[in-house]
Amino acid sequence: MNILSHHFHRTLQRFIYKGLYGIDFTFDCVDDIRIASSGAKEHIERLSVVLRRLDSRGPNVEPGKCTFGVSNVDILGHNISENGIKSSEKKIRAIKH
């Protein structure tokens, strides 16, 4: 990663952190924002809160890069779901081969 890219990612991360500060059900990693919810209705309510905050403070959300309402996610080599955290199956397969 070149120095400009490194600084861009740090700046974007700080911008997202400050923009979502105080919303305790969000988790951000570089340019990704995760929203934790216990069900569909709660997810829609929380998503609305986050989208309103981003609309008022930026950055823009690219709809084509968004995924909504999933029950598990892979983050940094780990799979997070309602059952807890485990190593990502994709990473396990890569190690086995």
pLDDT over 60 at 4, yes or no: no
> What is the percent of the chain with per-residue pLDDT over 90, rounded to a whole number?
8
Q: What is the pLDDT of residues 53-69, one digit of tens each?
A: 888 876 677 888 888 88
* Band (73; pLDDT cuts 50, 70, 90): confident
Diameter over CA atoms, the chain: 47
Report which of residues 26 and 3 the model is more confident about. Answer: 26
What is the domain partition of the chain in residue ranges?
1-66, 70-97
What is the predicted pLDDT for the residue at 48?
A: 92
| Residue type present at position 28 | D
* Band (44; pLDDT cuts 50, 70, 90): very high
Helix H, strand E, coil C: the string for 31-48 is: CEEEECCCCHHHHHHHHH
What is the predicted pLDDT for the residue at 30?
A: 67
Report which of residues 21 and 73 the model is more confident about. Answer: 73
Nearest in space to 35 (alpha carbons), one of 27, 88, 57: 27
N-terminal to C-terminal alpha carbon distance within the chain? 27
pTM for the full predicted model = 0.65
Omega before residue 59 within 30° of 0, cis: yes
> What residue has token string 């809160």?
49
